[in-house]
């Protein structure tokens, strides 16, 4: 018994069919593209973790009084 209930012979048959359908050149290009994408993703994640700084909010948390005042202003604007 192989991986997930698939025997080694079934995997080999699938591999042969894939090789016949796509050919070695297309599979090689696909592997190269996939490897480049993974490499780019890893380098981006590495850069992101190196440059990550704590983000401070642009505004301070609103206090309840200022929220009430802005709500009153919005109500007065709606009435006119």
| Mean pLDDT computed over 34-46 | 93
pTM: 0.42
**pLDDT band with cut points at 50, 70 and 90 for residue 49:** confident
Kindly calculate the radius of gyration of the chain based on its CA atoms and give it in whole angstroms.
29
**Please, which pLDDT band fits residue 56 given cuts at 50, 70 and 90?**
low
Alpha helices in the chain (DSSP H): 8-51, 64-79
Q: Who contacts 65 (Cβ-Cβ below 8 Å, separation ≥6)? A: none
Angle at 31 between CA 26 and CA 33, to 5 degrees: 95
Question: pLDDT per residue over 20-31, tens digit each?
Answer: 998 888 988 989
């Amino acid at each position: 018994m192989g991986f997930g209930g698939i025997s080694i012979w079934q995997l080999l048959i699938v591999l042969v069919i894939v090789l016949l359908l796509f050919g070695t050149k297309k599979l090689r290009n696909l592997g190269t593209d996939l490897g480049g994408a993974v490499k780019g993703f890893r380098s981006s994640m590495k850069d992101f973790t190196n440059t990550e700084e704590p983000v401070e909010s642009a505004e301070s948390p609103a206090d309840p009084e200022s929220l009430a005042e802005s709500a009153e202003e919005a109500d007065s604007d709606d009435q006119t």
